[in-house]
Structure formats: C-alpha cells, structure tokens
Structure 1
Amino acid sequence: MSPAATLPRSQPMSIALIVGVGDGLSASLARQLAARGHHLVLAARNTDKLADLEAETGATTAAGDAADPAAVCRLFEQVDGIDGDLAVAIYNPSARVRGPLVDLDPAEVRRALDVTAYGAFLVAQAAARRMLAQGHGTILFTGASAGVKGFAQSAPFAMGKFALRGLAQSMARELHPQNIHVGHVVIDGAIRNPGRSEPADKPDSMLDPDAIAETYLALIDQHRSAWSWEIELRPFVERF
C-alpha cells in the first residue's frame, strides 16, 4: 500500500480532491473514495448538480472554473481549510470541439485547450506543492484514446489530451522520486453513465464507471517499488 493509503487514524484526515465532477466516473470515484474514509472535496463549475452526491458522501463542494487561476487558488484555499493531508487529487475535465480543421473557431479551440490541458496544469501544480510539503500523495489524470492517436475532425480534443498525457509523463518523471505518485488513465471507449447504456445485444461494450474507479483505486494502492505512470482501459470488444 502507498503511504497515502495507509495513514494511521491518529494522523490528520486524508483528503481526496476530484475536479470536474458529474454523475458518471467522478461520482463512482467519489463513492469509492468516501467508503475508504477520505474526506472528499468535489469541484465543478456548477455544484447544484452535486447536492445528492454531497449528501451521500459527506463531501465538501467547491464551485469554479478549473481553467481560471484565481478559481483554482480559491479551490485550494478551501482544501487548506480542512484539517488533513491532501492524499489524492484527480483531474477529469475536458472539452471537445468537432469539425473540419479549416472551419474551427479559434476561440472555441483555445477554450477547449484551457479546460483539457491548462486547467490540469493549474490543479496539478497546486496539488503537487502541497503533497511535496507533506511528503506523499497521488495525482491522477483522466485521459482518452485521443491522447495517443488523433482522430479526423477532432484536432482540439487530440491537442488537449496529448498535452495532458505529456504533462502526466513529465510530472511522473519529476515527482516519483519525491514520493508523489502521478498516473494517467487512458479511457479508450464510451463510459456507461446514467441515461446512457449499451444496446442489449452488446453487453459490456461500454466501460462501467464503477469498474474504472476500481482501477483508479488500484493505482492509488500501488507500492512505490512498482508504480505505473499510465494505464489503458477499454471494453473487451473495443478495437485498438
């Protein structure tokens, strides 16, 4: 088990921060982390949608735009106000702009890059500063197959996810020797979310969010003598 996962109960509370929370993967992560005893901080642009999850998990919620430095600063001030160590930080947000390259709106492309990559940098930098000070922690990024291969008419998403993957790899090489575990999870396929499921004749053709969350927890639990910096997840029928 990693140091972040084995803090004695006499130590400060273990905090888990999830940025970009909705009702799919991030909700599964929240429930599983709360079941382990973490105090959750759930961040989203609109926290009204988090009322049920907040009540279920006893989480603290924080509203703000992850691509806004001032908002990220306020978020971590809120985290700092909780008596405990920041054991886990997970970054989920991304933005897609589809269409032929020559027709893309530059402003929309910049916004997509801000959400997918720049916001990840801001959150990761703030989390790393705190984890370095306490001597341990885990930072995880939610990636996509677009970060490994660019698809036609999806350049902005590929640009953002390639940047996210590069950030994670660079951070892992810098921070692993300082006892900060950095992981990048490539989600290759559609996620089964509330109101979105696979056809009856194609069972398990979408990723189950609870199953994905279990893999995130397995990354958190890895012994530091055998840390992964990246793992790919896909349904058994997915082509790659």
Structure 2
Amino acid sequence: MPKALIIGAGDGLSASLARLLAKEGYDIALAARDIAKLDALVAETGAVAHACDAANEAHVEHLFDAEGDAEVVVYNPSYRTRGPFVDLVPADVQRTLQVCAFGAFLAAQQAARRMLERGSGTILLTGASAGVKGYAQSAPFAMGKFALRGLAQSMARELHPKGIHVAHIVIDGGIRSTRRPETGEDALLDPDAIAETYLHLIRQHRSAWSWEIEVRPWVETF
C-alpha cells in the first residue's frame, strides 16, 4: 500500500485529507506537536501518529527516519501572530517564519532526498491568502507564506524534471470547522472539498503537473 505522511495534522483540512487518502488505500502517518488530539482520527483511519515540532530539525529528521518511505508528503503546519507592525514581538515573528517556511524546508528536503532515490513522489505545501497578498497587521504571516510559495516554486522547477511533483495550494478563504461554523451558503471552504483537490494533484499525470492551485469559496472576493 502507498503511504502518505501529513505533517501538522489536526481536526480540519488534514483530518479530511487523512480520511480521504485512507479510503483511497493509503497507509496514513500523522505528525503533530500534540498527538493526543489525534486519537479519534488515528482510530478512524488506522494511522500512525508521531509527535513532532515541524520547525525542529532533529524532530523532522527523526520523523523521516520512521516514515521516509512515504510517496505523498503534505506540509500543513501554520503559526500566526498579528498586530500593528511597530508592536510585533520579534520572537513571535521568528516563530511564524520557522513554522510556516523553515519547517516546510526541513520536511521537503527530507522528503525530496528519499523521493529522488526512487524517482517519484509528491510533496504538497499548504499555503494561504497571505502568500499572495499581505494584509495589514499580518506582516509575519505574509512573510512566512510568501516564503513558502517561493520555496514551492523553486522546488518545482528543480524537482519536476526529476520525477518529483511539488505543488503549492493557496487556501484563499476560511475553512469550515467546529470552531468556525458555516456563516452562509458555502461561505467557508469545505475541508472535504479541499481534500479532493489535493487528491487530484496527487493523481495528476506528469504531462500536465500543476505547481500551484488556488481554491476559494465562490462568494469570496478576489
């Protein structure tokens, strides 16, 4: 059975993706800082859970020592600090960059090294509106997500010709969850629908690979 590794797993998009890929016949490995929150998802999907701080090099190396044979690797962690630019706390800004961008580099590098040996694999990086437009009082998140997008584009240009599919998914809008219920007809992205887009990327034929796909609710402004 093929294996999928989802880093930054929780009860939203990553949970929908884990359920869908398990249904499609994948062995699932999940990584998160707090794996206790994954108990129900592990039981539902038969997944293996690993405690991992995605911005910690040693943690990521250990994760890939255990799950490095994954054919699909999804990087989903995100960290955000907001506030007036002049009031931002440098340590919080640094953490945002570490989780959003540096952690993606660590995971993608570990994945790419192993995939290159096989000559195949898929690396998917979860982006956000902030990766294409910087919002007021959200400079750190924009910095992190812009860096993530640049990482994906650079990796795609280098690795696509070597058989590794790299794609960046811009999530342009809020995702429906128990903490963020629907506020109107399809006003929030359905995490199950986003997961279907990820599956489409995984299944794309190499003659027509996408390096980036943007998804948004039909009522979302551009």
Q: Give the TM bin, normalised by the shorter chain.
A: over 0.9
The answer for the alignment partner of 2:20 in structure 1 is 32
Deviations 1:73-104 (A, max 9, x none): 11011114xxxx42100000111110111100
Runs of 4 or more off by more than 4 Å in structure 1?
A: none
What TM-score does the superposition give when structure 1 sets the normalisation length?
0.91
Equivalent position SS for 1:192: coil
Counterpart AA for 2:219: V
Q: 1:193 aligns with which of 171, 174, 177?
A: 177
The answer for the alignment partner of 1:212 in structure 2 is 194
Cα distance in structure 1, aligned partners of 2:73 and 2:215: 20
Counterpart AA for 2:56: D
Answering whether residue 130 of structure 2 is matched by residue 146 of structure 1, we say yes
Q: 2:140 aligns with which of 149, 153, 156?
A: 156
CA RMSD of aligned residues (A): 0.8
Counterpart AA for 1:188: D
Cα distance in structure 2, aligned partners of 1:168 and 1:212: 19
Counterpart AA for 1:135: G
1:68 deviates by 0.2
Unaligned 5+ runs, structure 1: 1-12
Unaligned 5+ runs, structure 2: none
Deviations 1:151-200 (A, max 9, x none): 0010000000000000000000000000100000000000001242122x
Cα distance in structure 1, aligned partners of 2:208 and 2:12: 29
Map 1:66-77 to 2 at 5 A: 66-77=54-65
Equivalent position SS for 2:124: strand
Question: How many aligned residue pairs are there?
Answer: 222
Cα distance in structure 1, aligned partners of 2:129 and 2:143: 12
Equivalent position SS for 2:6: strand
What TM-score does the superposition give when structure 2 sets the normalisation length?
0.98
Answering whether residue 22 of structure 2 is matched by residue 22 of structure 1, we say no
The answer for the alignment partner of 1:3 in structure 2 is none
Counterpart AA for 2:21: L
Give the greater-gyration-radius structure (CA).
Answer: 1
Cα distance in structure 2, aligned partners of 1:198 and 1:53: 22
Same amino acid, percent of matched pairs: 68
Counterpart AA for 1:230: E
Map 1:1-240 to 2 at 5 A: 13-80=1-68, 85-199=69-183, 202-240=184-222
